[in-house]
Structure 1
Amino acid sequence: MNNSPPTSERNILAPSQLNTLARDLLEGAFGMVWIEGELGGVSRPASGHLYFALKDARAQVRCALFKPKSQWLKFRPVDGMQVLARGRVTLYEPRGEYQLIIDHMEEAGEGALRRAFEQLKARLQAEGLFEAARKRALPARIAHIGVLSSPGGAAVHDVLTVLRRRFPLLSVELLPVPVQGPLAASEIVRMLARADQSGRYDVLLLTRGGGSPEDLAAFNDESLARTIAATQTPVVAAIGHEVDTSIAELVADLRAATPSAAAELLSRDGSELERSLQRQRGRIDSAFARLRERSWLRLDPLQHRLAAQHPAARLARGSERLRALQQRLLHRTSQALQPPQAQLSRLALRLAAQHPRLRITALHQAVTHAHQRQRSLTGQHLARAAARLTELGRTLNAVSPLATLQRGYSILLDEHGRSIRHASALQPGQRISARLADGRRRLRVEPEGED
C-alpha cells in the first residue's frame, strides 16, 4: 500500500531552489571566518581571478579570490605555500559545492603574528586601555628622564644627541634592557616597574629602532602593556619607524613617530629658555625704573616742604610778623600815652619772645631734622632696590652651567662626548677629556695606586 501523500500535498523544490536555500543557510550561519592551510591547485585564468584549494592532511576547501583583490596580494601564491585567509562561506550553485570567497590572504608566518596582535589589541581596547581619558599628561617642566632601550642601539644615540642639542641641562639616565628576543618583554617589564617605583623620573621613554614584526614582538606583549598602564610615571613610547605601531605605543601616555621625535617632545628649546631669561631681565629693569620713578614722585613733595621750611622763608615770615607787631605796638602806644608800668613789662617780655634770632634758630633746627629724615628715607629705598637687583643677578647667574665651571669645577667626557658620572665607568688607559671654564684638556686614566 502506498502511504505517500498526494502530489498536490508535497513540497517539491527544484535543484536551483534547494541550492539557494542552502546558500542562504551557509552564509547566515557562518559569516566571516579565518582559515589557515596549504595552497593547492592554484590557477589564475585570463579573467584575473584566483582559484585554489586550502587543505590540510584530512580535508580541503575550494576558494576564490576575485579581481581586483587578487591583484593586491603582496606575494605570489604557489602550490604548497602555507597561508592565512579570511572569507565568507557560500555555495557555488552550478555545481552544488560550498566554497570560500576570500577577501584577504597573507603568508601564514606573518599572519600568525598579526592575528595575535589584532586579538590582543581588540581585547585591550575593549578594556579601555587605549582611551585618552585614562592616559596621564606629561609634566610641564621635565628635569629627569629615564630611557629604556638597548645601550648599543641607534635609537639611544639619536635620543641623546637631540637632548644634548636642545637642552643640555636636562638629566637623562639610560636604563639598559634588551629590545628583542624571547626574554626582552619580561626584562622591559621588570625595569619599567623598578623605574616607576623609584620615583626618580619625571618621564620614562621606551624606545628602539625599526625592525621586522618578529623583532618588534616584545613590544606587543600583554604583560608589558598592562605594566605601562599601571605605572604612576608618564610613559612615552617611540618604537620602530613611523609606520610601525605596537601595543606598547597604543597603551603609552604619548606616542612619538621616531626616537628623535620623542626627544624633541620631551626637551625644552635651550634658545627659548635664553629668550625667557632675557624677558625676565627686561621685566626686572622695568620694575626698577618704575620704582625709581615712584621714589622721585614721593621725593618732589618733600622737596617742596623742605623749601617751605628754608631759613630765608622762615625769616621772611618772621620779619612780616615783626612788622605787624610793631604796628600794633605803635597803635597801642598812641592810644595810651602813659601806659602802666606792668603792662609795659608784659609787652616787653612778649616782644622778646618773638625776637627773630630765636625764631630763626628754631626754624633752622626743624629744617635740618626734616632734611636728614628725607635723605635717610631716600637712601633706604635705593638700598633695598639695589639689594633686590643684586639678588636677582645672583639667581640668574646660579642657573648657568658656565658659572659652575668658573668656580673651579669641570666636566669629564668620554671619547664620544658623553658625560662621565661614575668612577666605575673609567678604565685604565682610557682617553678622556675635561671641560674647564677656559677650554678642554685631553686626559688619560691611570690605574689605581699609581701617582
Structure 2
Amino acid sequence: MDIPSPKPRARALSVSELNHQVRHLLEVSFLQVWVEGEISSFSRPASGHWYFTLKDAKSQVKCAMFRGNNQRVRTPPKEGDQVLVRGKVTLYENRGDYQIIAEAMEPAGLGALQQAFDALKLKLQSEGMFDAERKKPVPTLPKHIGVITSATGAAIHDILTVLKRRCPGIPVTLYPASVQGNAAAGEIVNAIQAAERHGVADVLIIGRGGGSLEDLWPFNEEKVARAIAACSLPTVSAVGHEVDFSIADFVADFRAPTPSAAAEHLAPDQSAWIRTLEQQSSRLEGITRRLLARLQEQVSGLGGRLRDPRRELQNHHQRLDDLESRLKSSFAQQLQARSQTLSQQQVRLANQSPRRQLADNRNRVSQLKEQLFRELHWQLNEQRDRLGHAAQSLQLVSPLATLGRGYAIVSTRRQPVIRDASRLKPGDEINARLGHGNIDATVTAIHSSLLPSDDDIEPS
C-alpha cells in the first residue's frame, strides 16, 4: 500500500516580517488621520518626546509625539484633556503595538489657536490697550514711511507698487522680519525697536499678506502686541486680507484691511495733488496780476507827489547844520555845569579831608584826656576824705578802743568770749586780751557777786 507524501507547507513568516508587513499595510491604508479622544497615561521622559494613550468610552490607542512636533503645541496637555490629534497610523514593530505618530494637537471643540487668540484679546482689552484714547494720529502726509514685513513677500511688493503709483516722492525704509514661524514674533519686535532707534520714519506699516490663522499667528503674539503699543511712532496694522483680524489690528493706531490699503491710506494721490496745484497756481497767477496792476496805479499816483530829491537833500543839510550848532551849545553848557559841580566837590572834599579830621580828633582827644585827669583827681580826693571819716567812725566803735580804756576780753580754748564768771571754775586756764598784749592765767577763785553784769562790759 502506497503512503501518500505530505503536501509541502508554505514558508512561515517570522514575527519581524509579519510586523513589518502590518506596519506597511497600516501606513498605506491610513495616510493621515484626525482622531479625537481623552488623554491618559501621559508621560514625558528626558528625551522630550511625549507618550500617551488616546481613549474614548469603548476603546483606546497608544500615541507618540516626538519633540520636533510637540514643541509647536502651545499648551502642553495633561491627564483627562479632550484633544484632537493629527497623525499617521503605524505599528511599533519591536513590540507589535499599534499606535499613532502624532504630528499636531489641539484642544477638542474650539481650536487651540482660536482659544489663545480670544484669551489674549480679552486680557489686552481689559488693560485698555484697544482704547481709542491711547491711539496716536496717523500723519496725512508722511515724510518717511517705515515698513516691517518679509523682504521677499508679496506685501512689500504691493506697498511699493501703490506708493509708486500714488506718490513716488515719499521715501520708504524696509525693516525686514520673518512673518511666519516660531521666530517671527521676536524678529517683528526687533524690527519695531530698530525703526524707533533709526528715527527717520514718522509712521510704520506692520503686516503681511493673507494666510491661515496659524500662518498669521506671529501677529497674535502678546510680545508683538505690547511692542506695537509701546512704539512711539504711529503704527498701521496691515495683516492678511480684509476678513482677517489679528491682535495687532486692535492694538495698532490704525487698521488697514490689506498692505495695499495701508499704502493707499498713507500716500496722497499724486494726480489729485497735481490738479489741486494747477488750480492753486491759476488762482495765484490771477491774484498776482491784479496785485501788480493795483501797485502800478499806486506808483503812478505817488510819482506825481514825489518832490525833487535835491531840494530834500538841501533841507537835510540845513537841518544837520542846525542840529550841529545846538549840539555844540548844549555841550558847552553841560561842560560848564560839570566844571562848577567839580569845583564844589573839591571844596567839599577838602573840608572832609582825612588829615583835617585827624587833627580835629587829636585836639578832641587831648581835651578829653585833660578832663578825665581832672575828674579822676577830684574823685580820688573825695574818696580819701570819705575813707578818713569812715576810719574815725570805725575807731569809735572798735573793741580795741574799749580795751584801751582798761577793759579785757577773757576767753578759753572752748569759748571765744567769757561774759559770765559762773561759766568758769577754779583751775581753768584763761586768756585775757588787753589793750596792749595778752595774759594767760589760771582761775583760783570766783566771786560772782563782785563781778559786773555783761551789759556793763559790752563795748559801746
Relative to the length of structure 1, the TM-score reads 0.45
Give 1 or 2 for the bigger CA radius of gyration: 2
Relative to the length of structure 2, the TM-score reads 0.44
